[in-house]
Each structure stands twice: as structure tokens, then as C-alpha cells.
A and B are shown apart, each in its own frame.
Chain A
Amino acid sequence: MLKLKKNLTAGLISCLVGIGLWCVIPIGITMKVSTATNAVGPDYMPRLIAIMLISMGLILIVQSVIFKKDEYVEIKFSQEKMVLYYLLILIAMVIAMPVVGYLPAGLIASVLFFFAFKEKNKKYYAIILAICVIVYCLFRFLLGIPLP
């Protein structure tokens, strides 16, 4: 079980993302654009956002560390197990989609989801397989969007 302080962790994430954004600006925005003032180039807003994220992160860290205003979140791996199964199946489906196509990948993934959820009702399996096909037909034929 992992026990995290909500404000402290959120604050650290905010600071890290903000600092990361600030550091990556010179690599991510290489084009220099001359404007009427020197102040407002394409990197102006990203810098403001980075400052905002770092500031909010610091506020949250101060709230947690100095003012002791924080709550704990408990991450129990036994509870997260099902989320991990779900994500693994979803990622596998997304990887398989360009190779085998949406329909086979979706049908197999739906059955795997139900296995993971320990669903025993056979009627539900039939319903979800039908939904997969309906989704395919809706997008492919009604909306004219060719799915992989």
C-alpha cells in the first residue's frame, strides 16, 4: 500500500511539470520571431504557464509542509489491480488496432475485459459483442469514417 499526501504530491507534480516546461522551452521553441515589442514571442505564454505551475505547486507544498493542511490518499495495489488489467487490455487493443483492424481488436478486447471483470452472464457477452459491431457500423457506414 502506498500512502501519499494529496497537496504535497500535487504540488510536487505541478512544480516538476512547470520546471520541465521551462527547461524544454529552448529546445521546443527554436524559431525566434520579431514582434513590435521584444517581450511577446512564441515562448512568452509557455514561460507564463511554467511560472503559474511552479507557483501553484509551491503554494500546495507550503500548505502541506508549513500549514499542515493536507489529506492522505491510500493507493492499495489490490484495488488498483483491476485498473491495471483494464489498462493492459486497452493498450494491447490500441497496439493491435492498426495491425488487425478495429473490429477484431475490439471484439477480442471486449471479451478480455469481461473475463477480467469476472462477468459470467453469457447474454452480456453477446450484447457487448453486438455493441462493438454497432459502433463499427455507426462510424464506418453512417458517419463515413474508415476505421483501421
Chain B
Amino acid sequence: MFESIIQGVTSFLSWQNLLATNFGMLLGIIFGAVPGVSADLAIVIMLPFTFNMDAITGILLLMAIYCGGAYGGSISSILLNTPGTNVSLATMFDGYPLAQKGQAKKALGMALVASTIGGVISAFALLFIAPVMADFAMKFAPPEYFTLAIFGLSIIAGISGKSLAKGLMAGGLGAMISIVGVDASSGAARFTFGHYELYRGLGLLPVLLGIFALPTIMNKLRTGEYRTVPEEAISYENSDNLTRKDVKDCMPTILKSSVIGVIIGAIPGAGAAIAAFMSYNEAKRSSKHPERFGYGELIGVAAPEAANNAVTAASFIPLLTLGIPGSVAAATLVGAFTMQGMVVGPTLFATHGDVLYAIMVGTIFVNLFMLLQGHFLIKGFSRITKVPQTILMVALTMFCVVGAYSFNKSMFDVYILLGCGIFMYILGKLDVPGAPFVLGIILGPLAESNLKRSLVMSEGSWSIFVTRPLSLLFLVLTVAFTAYSVMKMRKMNNAAKESGLELGDDK
């Protein structure tokens, strides 16, 4: 492993990779900081740009956006009392009161330090856990993969919205989209109706853009949010600086929250918002002065920020080892890997280990770049919240149309974008979440191919899934985690409602 890591460092250290990661980081912080858009959206928009890039450069660009977005949300939470993303909701509870007390610089500094430490710990976890898990996953047979896909989908469906049934409905709709085209195992054309564009199936990128980008724009138009002039951010320039003592005092909490973030991140679909809230609650519970929380306690900023950034790299563990995307960002990365001719899953370490190690090592550097950018560019970032929404919406629309077209150089994909966008906008009104929809598209084919192989193995008997210990374990875990996650999400929704905001997808 040590040799692979050294090889990864060598592969990472090229000017293209350094440029791409820094650009991605900048973009991620911007999209994270602007309320109403998210890093997930930035990743989807930037996906077509990675098609012509080297695999390491392209995927690191997207990883950097994801990591930057998790930190960027804290800027608007602290300065505007509006979280850039739901991921930063918990940061707002103490970040904004700190800013009001003239300690905005201290709060922003702590958010940056905690995010960096959380992100680096997460990147190391990815580097050391993923290869071991992938090695273990090589022993899985089709029944284990099928139950694993069901495990991933049901958990994501359970916690990404308000209702498990709606989450599973969205997952089913996504799986339905994935079956259009030529069936890989039999070669039969499905739902193509003689149209040659449908033979290759519905492209992931147009569907992603349709599900995430267009409804975001349409919702802003409906609510009139695009007309609102951003509130004046609290000035941070004459406020208190973060001291070494502050960092030292918060360090145990940062480390504990980072571990919580890594664990939550490694569970498919659990998400950074949950990790941030759990860490905030844990910090408050273990504090000698819990009464100070909510009134500008610095640890109240450190805990959620360390946790939400610790989720980032860890959420790629299930993707790289099992082929199960744990988040929308990870699902988008499946598209990036696929376009580079790589199939995500345990075999990826055997076939493209050099690329993976470079990406995992690069993720550590990405978090260090975040520290540098956050330190030197914070003045600019604090102004980002004033980006005119009308420009943002039209620019995003243009990127969506051109991005969808670029997928296959076909107008058909633009029509898919429009169709998915309108459909998801309607479903969004009914509280049907988008994340399980996308994961259904990715997990659908994985589940199908392994279900077929399993049933061939068992001569048509479904008992194969309960007679094999590992597959039975995944089924038991599916039920247990889903029940636990739904319960947890309800609590989070209640907590969010009390503060006037709602948790949904991590965006």
C-alpha cells in the first residue's frame, strides 16, 4: 500500500491537477456560499467539462468542488444567517450570533480550520479504509451485490426526504429510467419503440441536470427569490481574530466530530447535514456550558463544520469499494468514472489502482488548498453572497442546455433534460426527493444484473438471498438502518422546523 501511496503522490503532483483542484475548490466554495444553489449542482454542471480531461484531473476537479461546497456554506451561515446549503444549517446556530458579537472573523476562521481538519481526516480514512474494504468486497457474489444495492437504495430513500414511500417511489422511477435501452445481459431492446436514440438508454448527465438544476431554477422563479436583494452581510474586517488558544480549546471537539463525520459519511445516503447535527448535539451534550450554545459558542461552529467536511471523502468509500454511491455527488462521479471507461466497484482497485490512489492522495491536498484559499480569499468569498440571482439562473440554464447536448452531441438529450426537469419540478411540489431518483438510475442496473445472476444460480428461487449469511446480513441491515434513519430524520426535521428551515436533500 505504501508504494501505491507514493505512486499516487507522484501522479497527483502535476500542474494540471493542481490547477484543476484549486479551480474546483474555488467553484465549490462559491456554489456553497451562494444561498439556493449547492455544490451538488456545481458538480453536475461541471461534469461535461471532465469528459475531455485526464481521469485523475477530471475526478479531482469534481472532488474539490464537493469539498469546497461543504465549507462554503458556512460563509453565508455565519455572515448572513442563511445557510448556503442544509449542510451548514447547524453552523448557523452559533456562527451568526458570534458574528453579531463582532467575532465574525473568529467564527469564519474556526469554520475553516475545523473544515480542513475534518476533511483531511476524512481523506486519510478514504485512503486507508477503501482498499481494505474493496479487498473484502471482492469475495461478494451476485446475491450479496443485489442485497447491497437494495440496502443502498432503501437507506437513501428513507433519509433523503420526509417519507420513505416517496423516497422508494423516486428510486423506482429512477430504476425505470435505467431500464430503457438495450438490456446488457440478454441484448433485448427495451422500451425503444424503434427510436435509435433510445437504444443507448437515457443519458445520466441530461437526467442529472434535469433533476437537480432545472427544478432549482424553477423553484426560485416560483417563490420570487430571484428578485430579493441579498441581505447585507455582517462585516468581519474589524472583528476578533482566531487565536491558537481557540483552536487548542476546540481541538478535542473537532477530532470527535471528524470521527462522527467519517462514520456517518461511510453510510450510504446518511449525508453531511445529519453528521453536522449529530456532532453539534454531541458537542453540546459533552460541554461544561451547554447553556452557551445558540448564543455564540465557538465550539458550536467547530463541531458541525468538522463533521460536514469529514463526510466528504468518507462518502466515497461505499462508491469506490462497493459501487454504491452514498450521495448525489458520488452518483455524479459514477458518470465521470463511466465516461473515463472505468466501472466503479471493488475491481476498480485492481484495474485502475494507480488512478484511485492519485485521487485519494489528491483529496488530502484538496483540503489543504481549502485552508489556503479560505485564508487568503475570504474577503472575496464574503461578497459572493451578493451575486445577482437573475444572472446566475440564466447562466445555469445555458450550462444545462449545452451540457446536456454535449453528452452525446444530440438534441435528444436536451429534450430529456427538459422532460426530467418538468417532471421533477412537479414531483418536488409533492415532496418527492430527487436524490433517490438519481441513485435508482445507478443502482437499478447493478441490482438487475445481480438479481438475474442470483436467480440463475438458485434456479429461480429467492431463498438464495436469505440462505447466504452475508446477503442475509445486508437484508437485516437494510431493515435496521432504514428504521433508524427514518427515526433520526424525523427528529432532524422537527429540529429544523423549530428553526424555521427544512431538511431535505443535502443541498
Give me the interface of A with B, judged by CB distance under 8 Å: 4, 6-7, 9-11, 13-14, 17-18, 21, 24, 27-29, 31, 33, 35-46, 48-49, 52-53, 56-57, 59-60, 63, 71, 73, 75, 79-80, 82-83, 86-87, 90-91, 93-94, 97-98, 102, 106, 110, 113-114, 117, 119, 121, 124, 127-128, 131-132, 135-136, 138-139, 143-148
- A residues near B415, Cβ cutoff 8 Å: 94
Count chain B CB atoms within 10 A of each CB in A18, A56, A132, A138 and give the residue with the most: A56
Q: Are B51 and A148 in contact (CB under 8 A)?
A: no
B397 at the interface (CB under 8 A from A): yes
Q: Smallest CB–CB gap between A65 and chain B, Å?
A: 14
Q: Are A60 and B414 in contact (CB under 8 A)?
A: no
Q: Are A90 and B397 in contact (CB under 8 A)?
A: yes
Q: Are A59 and B395 in contact (CB under 8 A)?
A: no
11 contacts between A and B (CB under 8 A): A4-B429, A6-B429, A40-B460, A45-B447, A45-B451, A60-B163, A94-B418, A97-B411, A113-B390, A131-B391, A135-B398
Cβ 8 A contact of B394, one of A6, A28, A113, A147: A113
B435 at the interface (CB under 8 A from A): no
Q: Smallest CB–CB gap between B157 and chain A, Å?
A: 9
- A residues near B193, Cβ cutoff 8 Å: 27-28
Given known contacts A46-B190, A143-B406, is B456 in contact with A17 (CB within 8 Å)? Answer: no
Give CA–CA (A13, B165) in the complex, Å.
13
- B residues near A127, Cβ cutoff 8 Å: 391
Q: Are B452 and A94 in contact (CB under 8 A)?
A: no
Q: Which of B117-125, B169-177, B299-307, B347-355 contacts A (4 or more CB under 8 A)?
A: B169-177
Give CA–CA (A22, B455) in the complex, Å.
21
Q: Are B394 and A10 in contact (CB under 8 A)?
A: no
Number of interface residues of B (CB under 8 A): 66
Q: Are A87 and B422 in contact (CB under 8 A)?
A: yes
Given known contacts A39-B460, A40-B455, A41-B186, is B398 in contact with A132 (CB within 8 Å)? Answer: yes
Closest 6 CB pairs of A and B: A42-B188, A31-B188, A28-B191, A33-B186, A37-B460, A56-B169
B427 at the interface (CB under 8 A from A): yes
B501 at the interface (CB under 8 A from A): no
Q: Are B163 and A7 in contact (CB under 8 A)?
A: yes
Cβ 8 A contact of B406, one of A14, A113, A128, A145: A145
Q: Are B172 and A35 in contact (CB under 8 A)?
A: no
Given known contacts A45-B451, A56-B165, A117-B390, is B402 in contact with A135 (CB within 8 Å)? Answer: yes
Cβ 8 A contact of B169, one of A14, A71, A102, A146: A14
Interface string of B373-407 (1 = CB under 8 A from A): 00000000000000010110111011101100110
Interface residues in B48-73 (C-beta closer than 8 Å to A): 48-49, 51-52
Q: Are B173 and A75 in contact (CB under 8 A)?
A: no
B283 at the interface (CB under 8 A from A): no
- A residues near B172, Cβ cutoff 8 Å: 14, 18, 49, 52-53, 56
Q: Are A60 and B165 in contact (CB under 8 A)?
A: yes
Q: Are A131 and B414 in contact (CB under 8 A)?
A: no
Q: Are A110 and B411 in contact (CB under 8 A)?
A: no
- A residues near B448, Cβ cutoff 8 Å: 45
Residue of A nearest to B218 (CB): A83
Q: Smallest CB–CB gap between A26 and chain B, Å?
A: 12
Cβ 8 A contact of A145, one of B191, B398, B409, B422: B409
Give CA–CA (A28, B222) in the complex, Å.
37
Count chain B CB atoms within 10 A of each CB in A14, A41, A138 and give the residue with the most: A14
Give CA–CA (A36, B185) in the complex, Å.
12
Q: Are B411 and A94 in contact (CB under 8 A)?
A: yes
B430 at the interface (CB under 8 A from A): yes
Give CA–CA (A136, B402) in the complex, Å.
8
Q: Are B455 and A57 in contact (CB under 8 A)?
A: no
Q: Are B430 and A40 in contact (CB under 8 A)?
A: no
Q: Are A37 and B183 in contact (CB under 8 A)?
A: no
Q: Are B394 and A57 in contact (CB under 8 A)?
A: no
Count chain A CB atoms within 10 A of each CB in B49, B222, B226 and give the residue with the most: B222
Q: Are B169 and A147 in contact (CB under 8 A)?
A: no
Q: A14-B172, A21-B176, A82-B222 are in contact. List 14 more A-B contacts (CB 8 A).
A: A28-B190, A45-B451, A46-B191, A60-B169, A63-B165, A83-B218, A83-B425, A97-B411, A124-B390, A124-B391, A131-B394, A135-B398, A136-B402, A138-B49
Give CA–CA (A57, B418) in the complex, Å.
25
Given known contacts A6-B431, A94-B418, A97-B411, is B169 in contact with A119 (CB within 8 Å)? Answer: no
Q: Smallest CB–CB gap between B438 and chain A, Å?
A: 16
- B residues near A132, Cβ cutoff 8 Å: 398
